[in-house]
Amino acid sequence: MARIERLEELRVYREWYAVAMRVFELGKTFPREETWALTDQVRRSSRGVGASLAETWRMRRYPRAFIRKLTDAEAEAEEARYWIVITRECGNLDGATARELDRTYDRIIARLVRMAHTASRWAIGAPDPATAPRRPGSPRTGSTPATEPGP
């Protein structure tokens, strides 16, 4: 498995980008009177996921900050889900489209949670799990067990 070097290579980023563009296009169909309220909120929260992901990617050097920023991205994705529900309830989005967007945000959140649970794998300078030699008893991620002294 090749090491991911750029944010754009992440599945979660690609999935977020596709849904953000979809939300942008859908926003064009919302009533004009919603431009500064509902449309703006839906688009802003959708874009917020990507902005948080970009910040997260640059925080890989700092494990706690990395996890915190992943949590921020997760919160933005949940906010986007909230605004999708409100948009549907206001009659500006059909049920099938709302369910599709909800499932997409659910997958994005799941990917972000998995990244947080495997934070050491994403750290800058972390060994590539596929090529790093394993010490007896060490986890596959290449991280050092908590009981061993750090570098």
3 is written with which tokens? Answer: 């090491």
Six-digit token pair at 46?
A: 């959708």
State the pLDDT at residue 56: 92
Instruction: Please list the ranges in the chain whose pLDDT falls under 70.
Output: 1-2, 126-151
- Residue 15: Cβ-neighbour burial (10 angstroms; 0-12, 13-18, 19+): middle
Cα–Cα distance between 4 and 59 in angstroms, integer? 15
State residue 149's pLDDT score: 32
pLDDT tens by residue, 83-100: 999 999 999 899 999 999
Specify the pTM.
Answer: 0.77
Domain boundaries, the chain: 8-122
CATH fold group of domain 8-122: de novo design (two linked rop proteins) (1.20.1440)
